Amino acid sequence: MRTVAEPIEGTEVRVEPADSPGIEINGVSVSINSVSKADVRVDLVDRAVSVSADRTRSFVVEHALGPLGLQGVTAANVVGIRNEWDFARPEHRFCYSAKLSPACVVGHPAGLPNPRLSEALGRVELIERDPQPRQTVSKPVSFSANGGDIKLCPREHGAGIRFKIKYGEADIVAEVDPRGETDETLIDSVTNSTTPYLSPNNGEAVTHAVADLVSDIAVIGGFDDLVVEADLTEAYHALTIGAAKKAHSSDSVERRSS
Amino acid sequence: MTLPAPKTVIADARTDSSDTRVTVNIALSGDVDVDRIKRTSTGYAGETAGRLGRLAAGVASDGQVHYPEPDFTANGPWLVLAPLSGVVSTVATGIGRVVVTLDHDATTDKQLQRLDQRISALLDSVRPSHNHYPVEEDTQGVFTTGMTMFNLDSIEVGEKLTATFNVSTTPATDRSTIESQFESVENVEDIKYDQLVGVERAAPSVHLREAVESAHRTVYGDWEYEWLPTPGVFAEIPGAEKMALGTGSPESTEFSEEQYESCLEALQTTLSNIEEDT
């Protein structure tokens, strides 16, 4: 596992070291089973609690999880630190209505994959210990949703994830190792690109999408070595989370130690 | 065809209002103009078609519909049917009115260009803006529902130039935020702001909240909250034990059979949840 040696802060979040593998957001373990919403954004809840006690929801988690995956962090406790309302944000209105704190919203206010967090992660010492098995798919997994298509294909152990993403007329190919090192120029470009809903063009949107797919497929889905081919449309988290869910539910996850 | 005839819905809603055996009250956000609604092969069509469709769902449910006027003295929790597209609400925005007076005497200053400039400056000052979001193009209220919004009501030109704006308010709106909106406008003499209806934030019990949230998770797979864009009957209902729900969108002039069924299912599941836990 790789964790931060000391706490760091990004926009809206603080990232603290973890003693065991895995990432938590506001105390909820990040996994495919904790996803409560996946369309224009991804929200997580603690499935162990009943709905009435369900004040565990964290909103727009992809903006925190994307930078963690891009920087190869596999163990961390992410804590929301926002304490002021911005009611222009639908997620803040949700929290105000449901008597949740604004700290539940860990997404970036400008729709960015938290460049300040990514920079801090790039500077802080990462502690690596207790190697964990890496995961791929045992066979190709295809999924379609909201007019988009995605295919997850097996890849050799330790190769990382090759993303081949298309959004409108724009496309991008990116190599990311969610348990290791990824090209800094790519990380910088991805984390400074705005979400498709706010992007000035599809080129920036597809660059942003790399962080979203790292979040959904690698960090939430738990995959490390894949070739991912995705043709994205609106609300594509239904597609990316859906594909990861399908891989898990169809018994297609392959764990491999070096 | 599941949907009843429009006039039957209204008649049944009035009858339902007198049934006081049921302890969950249902109110409707807005009036229904039944004479201007048609029942089509797919649902209702007309300016208030959505209200009629939601009212029909209320009548078909086991709750006590209050129509046309709610009896605010009734016991029990309240569910307000509103065009919420399947989400839930506990908050309604408020309403205010601001009158801005400018030192501009049109009886002596005949230059229309200067008058035009002053009016333009006023309108520019209330145009919505945000550091990150395209709020000027936000026709769906994705962002602007949570912003202090100004809507020009009238302009009077005489010895003074007086502009009156209706204001949609949020919990962040106060007199100073209203006044600061006009800081950049020249020749402002006076700003009078009145909060007409405050933001209404209900505080329903865990019991009611769970019943509504669980019902939405059952019917839609998730529960989400959004604010009501106007206070309406939700703000008038006294007490904290109230929530709003419903299908359809505010501007739509059509309400489908699917929306009716979905609204009824969410309502009925909510009522069952309330009854189970009582």
Range of the domain at A34: 2-128
Same domain assignment for residues A104 and A217: no
Residues in B 108-167 with any Cβ partner in A closer than 8 A: 130-135, 142-147
Same domain assignment for residues A124 and A229: no
Burial label, B197 (beta-carbon count in 10 A; 0-12, 13-18, 19+): middle
Domain boundary (A105, A128, A151) is at A128
Reply yes or no on whether the pLDDT at B16 is more than 80. no
Same domain assignment for residues A39 and A6: yes
Q: Which of B213, B226, B227 sits opposite A51 (nearest CB)?
A: B213
> Nearest C-alpha of chain A: how many angstroms from B220?
11
CATH of the domain at A241: 3.30.1700.10
Contact A245, A55 (CB under 8 A): no
Q: What is the ipTM of this complex?
A: 0.93
> What does the domain layout of chain B look like in residue ranges?
6-91+200-277, 94-197
Three-state DSSP at B234 gives helix
Q: In this predicted structure, what is the pLDDT of residue A106?
A: 98
Answer whether B134 sits within 8 Å of A198, measured CB to CB. yes
Q: In this predicted structure, what is the pLDDT of residue B23?
A: 83
**What does the mean pLDDT of chain A come to?**
96
* Neighbouring-strand partners of residue A38: A42
CATH of the domain at A35: 3.30.230
Q: What value does the mean pLDDT take over residues B41-51? A: 96
Reply yes or no on whether the pLDDT at B277 is more than 70. no
Three-state DSSP at A117 gives helix
Q: What is the pLDDT of residues A163-189, one digit of tens each?
A: 999 999 999 999 999 999 999 999 999
CB contacts of A198 in chain B (<8 Å) are: 132-134
Tokens representing B165 are 């704006």
Reply yes or no on whether the pLDDT at A52 is more than 80. no
Q: Which are the contacts of B117, defined by CB distance < 8 A and separation ≥ 6?
A: none
Answer whether B214 sits within 8 Å of A94, measured CB to CB. no
Q: What percentage of chain A has pLDDT greater than the value 90? A: 95
Answer whether A54 sits within 8 Å of B144, measured CB to CB. no
Three-state DSSP at B128 gives coil
Q: What is the pLDDT of residues B163-173, one digit of tens each?
A: 999 999 999 99
Same domain assignment for residues A87 and A151: no
CB contacts of A86 in chain B (<8 Å) are: 146
Is B94-197 a domain of CATH 2.40.30.40? Answer: no
Confidence label for B20 from pLDDT (cuts 50, 70 and 90): low
- Nearest-CA residue of chain B relative to A198? B133
- Nearest-CA residue of chain B relative to A38? B222
Same domain assignment for residues A178 and A249: yes
Tell me which of A124-138, A216-230, B84-98, B101-115 is least confident: B101-115
> Nearest C-alpha of chain A: how many angstroms from B123?
21
Same domain assignment for residues A191 and A220: yes
CATH code reported for the domain at B6-91+200-277:
3.40.630.10
Same domain assignment for residues A22 and A118: yes
Q: Which are the contacts of A206, defined by CB distance < 8 A and separation ≥ 6?
A: A165, A166, A167, A168, A170, A171, A172, A232
What span, in angstroms and rounded, lies between the C-alpha atoms of A107 and A128? 27
Q: What value does the mean pLDDT take over residues B181-195? A: 95
Q: Write down the residue that tokens 């009886």 correspond to.
A: B107
Q: Which are the contacts of B202, defined by CB distance < 8 A and separation ≥ 6?
A: B90, B91, B234, B240, B241, B242, B243
Same domain assignment for residues A188 and A107: no
Same domain assignment for residues A94 and A149: no
Same domain assignment for residues A79 and A122: yes
Q: In this predicted structure, what is the pLDDT of residue A50?
A: 60
> Nearest C-alpha of chain A: how many angstroms from B19?
30
Reply yes or no on whether the pLDDT at B22 is more than 80. no
Reply yes or no on whether the pLDDT at B19 is more than 80. no
Same domain assignment for residues A28 and A97: yes
CB contacts of A88 in chain B (<8 Å) are: 130, 133, 135, 143-144, 146-147
Reply yes or no on whether the pLDDT at B1 is more than 70. no
Q: Is the Cβ of A88 closer than 8 Å to some Cβ of chain B? A: yes
Same domain assignment for residues A16 and A124: yes
Strands A42-44, A35-38: parallel, antiparallel or unpaired by DSSP? antiparallel
Domain boundary (A128, A159, A184) is at A128
Answer whether B210 sits within 8 Å of A51, measured CB to CB. yes
Residue A135, CA distances (Å) to A157, A238, A241, A253 in order = 8, 21, 16, 7
Strand intervals (E) in chain A? 2-4, 8-9, 13-16, 22-25, 28-29, 35-38, 42-44, 75-80, 126-128, 134-137, 141-145, 148-154, 161-167, 170-176, 226-232, 253-256
Contact A105, A89 (CB under 8 A): yes
Q: Please, how many CA atoms are within 13 Å of residue B177, restricted to the half-sphere of its CB? A: 14
- Give chain A's domain count: 2
